[in-house]
Structure 1
Amino acid sequence: MALTTTALATACAAEAPPAAQPTETVAGTPTPAAPEPTPSSEPEPPEGEPTCDTLIGAAVVADFESVGWSSQAEAFYLGDVELANGIQCVWADFDGPAGDHLQLFGWAPITPDQAAEAQATLVSQGWVREESAEGVYITEPKETTIATDDEGYGMTYLFAEDWVKLADTKQGLLLIEWPQV
């Protein structure tokens, strides 16, 4: 029995890196154990819908709050279409004098048809389309840009397979940590 337990423990330790399937088919016990990590990782995604505090990193939230900024959540609109379950967050000093010092972050799930239509609409309005390994970037035209990042990009969308992100600059997209996986 001790030899079987040791062999099983050794097999489980070896199964994680290279070949999990042969170990699972040989021993019936590891098969129920394999799904258990999935339920234990399920509590992370059920943190619910993204919020202004979870859309970006905790350190960024702390930095904003340390200078007196807070956030306001809004529905995520792509043109005149509201994307269900999306969020757009404006971070600024809402108690201070009016100004244009703010940060904008957004995320929403999107279907491939919605993404294709939105991209076509934005490009027809003069927005610039760039493809990359991360997805498709659509950036506002330079003539209408109010604020830019170090590379000259203003407000930018990043379209991936089933979601879209938005920030007031292309570099700002790097601060969005949603969806959390």
Structure 2
Amino acid sequence: MPAPRILGAAAVLVLSAVILSACAGTPEEAAPEVTGNAQTPTAAAPEPTATPEPEPASTEKPTCETIISESVVADFESLGWSAQESPLYIGSTEITDGLQCMWADFEGPAGDHGQMYGWAPVTEAEATDAQDELIAQGWQREEDAAGVYITESAETVIAPDAEGYGITYLFGEGDVKVADTKQNLLLIEWPKS
């Protein structure tokens, strides 16, 4: 008859746990503090609360993998493409803190398949100087709500988009974007919001 013994042992264990938890009780209030002749109760210190830390401003630097969306990067990588980063030049001027990225299959045979994207912060003066230099070289200027577009002349476009645009710069407020076509400027998602 081992079953009743096991049940009896289990009952003793459960009863012991109940008795121990009842003896543990709840924490007592702080003992009164004696000062002079009067007794003043001392309140327990309040529990610290977590104060959310302010989020620091983004210090992330743009890279070839972050100036375009993750899905576009994944599409390029699925084709065996990788990015080569270089400084961003507008005309003869290197733009500080800018980058230009060429996405292609650099391990495969040479070809004309690839896409180019770039981004840089620019001051208003830098933007004006860069636009003037490009226009002096025959580039075309257009303006709309997004900013000022400077695109290569139709006579020199090698691989135009559906609207006939080749390499195009978009000068916005405080930055410039560049892509191998005007249409591809839409793929640049920097700075991140």
State the Cα distance separating 1:49 from its structure 2 match.
1.0
Matches within 5 A, 1:160-179: 160-179=172-191
Residue equivalent to 1:102: 114
Residue equivalent to 1:51: 63
The answer to whether residue 84 in structure 2 is matched with residue 72 in structure 1 is yes
Matches within 5 A, 1:3-152: 39-40=54-55, 42=56, 45-46=58-59, 48-152=60-164
State the Cα distance separating 1:121 from its structure 2 match.
1.1
State the Cα distance separating 1:120 from its structure 2 match.
1.0
Distance 1:112 1:100 in 2: 35
State the Cα distance separating 1:54 from its structure 2 match.
0.2
Q: Deviations over 1:64-95 (max 9, x none)?
A: 00010000010111111111111100000000
SS in 1 for 2:65: helix
Amino acid at match of 1:70: S
SS in 2 for 1:137: strand
Amino acid at match of 2:149: Y
Answer 1 or 2: higher relative contact order, Cα 8 Å, separation at least 6.
1
State the Cα distance separating 1:115 from its structure 2 match.
0.5
Distance 1:88 1:49 in 2: 13
Distance 2:154 2:79 in 1: 30
Distance 2:92 2:61 in 1: 22
Distance 2:77 2:173 in 1: 32
Where does structure 2 lack aligned partners over 5 or more consecutive residues?
1-50
Q: Deviations over 1:102-143 (max 9, x none)?
A: 100000011111100111111111111000100000000011
Amino acid at match of 2:118: G
Higher Rg: 2
Distance 2:128 2:63 in 1: 26
- Provide the aligned C-alpha RMSD in A: 1.5
* Equivalenced residues, count: 143
Distance 1:177 1:105 in 2: 11
Distance 2:108 2:124 in 1: 41
- Matched residues, percent identical? 59
Distance 1:161 1:140 in 2: 21
TM-score by length of 1: 0.76
Which structure 1 residue ranges, 4+ long, deviate > 2 Å from structure 2?
Answer: none
